[in-house]
Amino acid sequence: MTDPSRPRAPFAPWDRRELPGIFDVDETARRVGHYKWIETKLFEALGGWVATVPELDIKLRLGTHCYHHAWHAELMHKRLPELREMKPDRLTVPPNDEMVAFVDALTQPEAAELTLEKLVGVYRVLIPHKIAAYTYHRNNTSRITDAPTIRSLDFMLQDEFDDWRDGEMLIQSLIETPEDVDRAAHRQAELEKLLLAAGGIAGPGTIGDPYATSGE
């Protein structure tokens, strides 16, 4: 018979996960706030392009994808702590001015003939960086104390991978000449440099040790 007074291990014998992740509460809140900010900005950008992109098939895809990002922003909002010193609105900010410059450049193409540049910025630059950031966070946070964030990131990553595939297929359908290849490559390099300066969508350390200091 089981002795009810006997101390039990905190986890079942088959569950050997570790309790702590590498992020403390402040770091988690900071990152989640940045994720919410970029998801909101991407929702706004794609929603605006739906009205101006001339290609009907691309217009329809952008319309679907923009609501994915609206939902992602909502998921991240729900993961922000409701502490007095950590109000969600205060945390929903870009990591730095360089990230603002990146988003400004991403959304700059407005002319109808610049659909290729629009898509390259989103599907060859921003979404791959989001996938990297979300995967890093998912794999390094606590599977016990931060399980809801992991669940939200899993949902988001599924959308991101699906949208990435859709976007790449659309890009390839638009590239018909060597000049188009050059346009796409130039646009990608231009934006990658801006995102490099920002350190990623959550700033320096987006896919590295958030507590590392230079020179150590």
The percentage of the chain sitting over the pLDDT mark of 70, rounded to a whole number, equals 88
Reported as a single tens digit per residue, the pLDDT across 104-150 is 999 999 999 999 999 999 999 999 999 999 999 998 998 888 889 99
Q: Is residue 25 scored above 70 in pLDDT?
A: yes
Assess if residue 116 is contained within a domain: yes
Look up residue 160 and give its amino acid.
Answer: E
Q: What CATH number corresponds to the domain at position 30?
A: 1.20.1260.10
88 falls in which pLDDT band (50, 70, 90)? confident
Decide if 208 is inside a domain: no
Number of domains composing the chain: 1
Q: Note the pLDDT of residue 5.
A: 77
Structural domain harbouring 109: 25-198
Q: Is the pTM of the predicted complex or chain greater than 0.75? A: yes
Answer whether residue 65 is part of any domain.
Answer: yes
